[in-house]
Every structure is written in C-alpha cells, then in structure tokens.
Structure 1
C-alpha cells in the first residue's frame, strides 16, 4: 500500500515541493498527487508585466512533470477535513473526495482589499493571472493622458507603477503610498527609486492612506481626491480562506501555524508552505509573503517529509534572506541587500545591471519549479514504516 501524499496548489511552493518529494522517495512507495485548478504554471512575479501588455511563455505542468511520479489533478479545492484526512475537490467531471496520509497545503494567497469601500467594485488587482488580464484589457483601451493610480508602496506597487509607466508613457501614472516612497530601503536604494520614478514621470503621493475607491478617483484620509480612471490595488495579500474553516491551528488572518520544518503545530500529517504558512526565520521574525520565502519553505517541507518517512535526518537549514529584487520596468532595477532577517543594509545594486539580475532571478524561480530535484542525490530512499502509521511522526536524530 502506497503512502498517499497530496499537494494542494501548484504555485512556486506547491510545484517545487511535489517535484522534490518525487525525487526523494521511491515511486513504488508513494503516490504523489498535485491538485491545481489550472493546467499550466503561473509566474506570479511577472503579473505586472502581463498587465502592462507583455506576453509570457506558457509553462504546462504536463511537460514539467512528464516522466515523474507526480500526478496532476486539475480541480479546485472546495474543502478539507483534516481530522478525517480528506480533501474535497471539484473538477470538470464533478466533485470528488481524496484521501491522504500526508498533506502539503500550498494554496497561497490572493489580493487583499483591506476592507476599503469601493475597492472590490472599482479597483484592479494583479495577484493572479485573471486579474492581470483584466487590467491588461482595461489599460489597452485607455486613451492617452488618462490617470492611472497604483495604491500601495510595497514591492508589487513599485513594480506595477514603473512597468505601466514604461509601457504606456502617454498615461498619467501615479502611486499612492501610506508612508514615504521606499521608506524601508537604504539611502542609496531610495535615491535610485526616486530617480527612476522621476525619469518615468510617475507622480508620488506619500503619506496617503486611501479610504475609498470610486469609478474615477480615490479618496485619502486627509480628504484629498486623486483622479483615477484606473486604480490598481497592491496593498498586500490575503490567504486562501479554506484553512481557517478547518480545525488546523491558524493565525487570525488564516495562516497555518507551523514549526521550522513547515509541519502544522496541531496536525502532524499536514505541512504548509508559502504564503499559507506562518513560519519564522532569523530573530523569530515571521517570513514575509514572497517567492523568496516560499521556495526554501518548499525545500524544507519536502525534505522533512522524506526524512520522517525514511528515518533520515531532519533538515536544519536556516530560512534567511539575502536581498530584495525589484524590477523598475524592463530597463531598470534595484537589488537591495538585506540582513538575514530582511533589514536593509547600505549596499544596493542599481540600474541596468540590477534589471538583468532581477530577470535572472525570475527565470531562476521558474526554472526551479520545472527542475525541483537538481542537486539532489539520484538514489531515492525507501519508506521504513507502514503507511497506516502516516499520521505519527518519526523524529530522526540530527
């Protein structure tokens, strides 16, 4: 009887975890099912490019996982019963219940309207492909001189504003930030950011907390009305609500509480990776929602699952940061070097070289999804205990 591993979600973290597990474990010992609603991989870090009119290379999962032990199931997850160890899904041919011995939860996150009135009705989001395509269509039909306002001064907001301004210099692009522009960056990073924004003609509204979104403007806390034929909302992410509806231990925002191997604190047969998990890094600081966090989390979870099933050593690789990579259009970039716990240091790479660096990072992230097992030993290990005992952890000595 095979040990049944189900991975929910095939973004960066879910796809990497599934492929890595297939390399770590013997095919005759495990059945690995990757559940995803779409048949191809979405490069989420490029959604601002898609929205600005660029075409992205298709990456079908059928090609990525050809010849591996990973079985792709095209379906939408509708519910999870972690006490019965089942997942309810809806596919084109109807509904189904899947049973698991080990679950990897990687359903990720979507956009977060922060409860601001009018946002859901009037704003556009680029947290996923459908939203990016809707924004793409709206921008393509926009006449020259029309105002576009990007709300949110984080990484996604910076990339969206610069990408749109570079692709459509005929539009009046602005960015509304709650604080100062790039206030978390080093002085060198902030100077370069202001320089690029000035060159692209992007108007910056600092200390502008948005309190309402209308069809042709946004309102800020100080009573200012900013014209906006199109509002792009990039104020953070909200996790998929399914985990919060289960008996899993979650945070107030619905992230699954995990240990340093990405294992659920309440249900030892469940692992969570990426935006869906509340994991901590250096100085016990929560990891931010990002591809930079999700990829090593996926490695950690897959290696821990394989170790517990085969009696191997648990991974003890620290999850840390090295830099923040920001594209500022296709010709400019900013690489802000950071401490292990994600605080900016003085060093920063800017300009064309930084843009090339960022592009290599994006390509590398997609390559890691298609090649999650590179660098792992070719020999797969045999499971050393009965699958019926899958819910019980076997802690290997370090």
Structure 2
C-alpha cells in the first residue's frame, strides 16, 4: 500500500505552529521570574501575620537572623523572626520606642528611617547609669541619631546625635549605613536631605565611632543638573557607597551615584539617572546586589522605587536590564517600597529578597508590609 504523502505546505504550517508554541513557552518562562510572599502586614488579611506597629522604612538583621524594621509613622522598631517554612517572619515581642527630637519638628512621635546593626565596640550609649555599645542604630526625619542596647534600656533607644535644630537648616535623615573608611575606621553614614526650604542640605553626613562629625559629601552637579532632587539613600555595594537622589514633586525621577568609602565621587556622569519620569528611576531608595542564585537577574544591581513600587535591575555599568515581574508577566509593584535585603534560604539553596514598604509612603500614615521576593523556580 502506497503511503499517503503529507503536503509540504501543511508540514510548514504545523512546523510554524510548533515553533510559535515553543516561542510562547520560552517567552512565558522568561517573564515568569519572581514570586512575592507577604509575611507581615499592618492590615489584617494581606499577609501571614498582622502587626499594627508596622510602617516599614529601613531594616537590618541581627546575628541571630532576626530582622529589625524602623516604622516611621509609629515611632517604633519592631523585630521579626528569621524566615523559615514553619514560621516565616513571625513578629517577635521586642518593640523599641524611638524618641522624637527635643524640638519635635514632626510631632511627639519619633520618625525612624534608617537602621544599622553595630558589630563594633564603638558607638557607645549611656542611660540610667549604664553604658554599652549600641547594638542597633537609627536615624530619623527629625534629624536625630539614636542607639539601642537592651543592657542600657530594654525598650527605648537613646538619642546620641541631635541635629534637629542645626543652622542654617535642620537635618532630616532618610537613610543610615555603618561601614568603614579606607583607613579601616568605623564610619556612620547618614543621608541628610535637610528640613528646610528647597531640600536644603542634600549631603551624606559622616560620624566617627564616638558619634563625632567627621565630614560630609555629595554630588554638587545634582543640584544644577537635576534641581529639586536631594540625597535619599546611602548603601554599601561591593565596598562602594551607592547614593540615590530623588525629587519630591512631579515629574518624579532619580539619580544614582557611586562614591568610595571616603566620600570621593567615582561616577561624575552618574551610575544611572533620569529626570521628568523618563526612565526606570522614580524616587529610588532600596539598593542591593543580587547573589548568583536569584534567577534571571542574578548578579545584577537591584534598585527599587518608592514612587511606583517597581524593582529594576542594572548591570555593573548602570545599563538598565529589566524589571522584576510576576509569573504572569506583570511587573511586581509594592506601593511605598522602602528597603530590601538579601538572605540565603538553606531550604531551597536560593537567595530571597526581604522587603519593607510603608504602603502609604507619601504621608507615612499607617499601613506597612514586610515580605519576600524569590525566583519563581525556587518558590517556597
């Protein structure tokens, strides 16, 4: 019996369909990048746990793996357990009150923003006849820096720097980083936008191990090239200081510069920049370098936006690589996104990006979120 031949055009048509199906599957796989898991929420029902103190801005981790989160609207620092499959992000009973500045420029409640864990024996605080190095350090929109050690006061931070009445313009701190300069000395870096007309200070203040002022730095071209933008975040990436600048009036944009640990500008043409909303930076704050086990954007510099809640990836030269997306391909959007930190999860041998968000970021009124973003193929 003679085998019936299949017309060539049908073969080509079917081949095209198969190729198209493969292309769709590959495309879907490429966009199915990351999964967002909400651990703790201010509002009931949006996460595993509810915490009415949560209005997260900055955070850092303790040696036991727990997270300390600064809550700007409530004036508290709250702690959450190290993530695990059994108890992801469980709120811990420890709650620290961050005091307001004596002049109370933002009212009777402290306004913590940045958080830094202190692994040194410096940055000593004293109160109630007791003295010890601060374990956690906080700065505030009030223009203060405070430290906390449970041996000094179990539930209250102690103000150690008060620049709330500094002249000509009071300080207003939006980020905090503890690092070391080129001589190996501990330095506390605080992003100071200023609490005055036309975002007045626009600099990174540096403090030594006794909380003494040792200098400041900025990129002077930002004020002329991008008027209305001020320092916003200060972060360490590969022993370099990344500083973001943001505007607080539409159209929003953003600039990212890199400095060495002594405050010398390394990127006179900026690591990344856009003005007037033309580009991926829209009031950038959180910055972290992805480890090599974080899916599509492994090894990339991740920069998040407070304004539109997106997380964008850049290569080491500042070239835009793309945006983190959900399985369906839509961008991950976390309103009021403030901070993120990478931690390794031994259960899946993968990196997880822990984030905080104020949700209502403009007025800092209530609402907050603490959660995880993980690569889709390593979803918990």
The TM-score range, normalised by the shorter chain, is under 0.3
TM-score, with normalisation over the residues of structure 2?
0.28
Q: Which has the higher contact order (CA 8 A, sep 6+)?
A: 1
Which one has a bigger Cα radius of gyration? 2
User: Larger % of strand: which?
Assistant: 2
TM-score, with normalisation over the residues of structure 1?
0.27
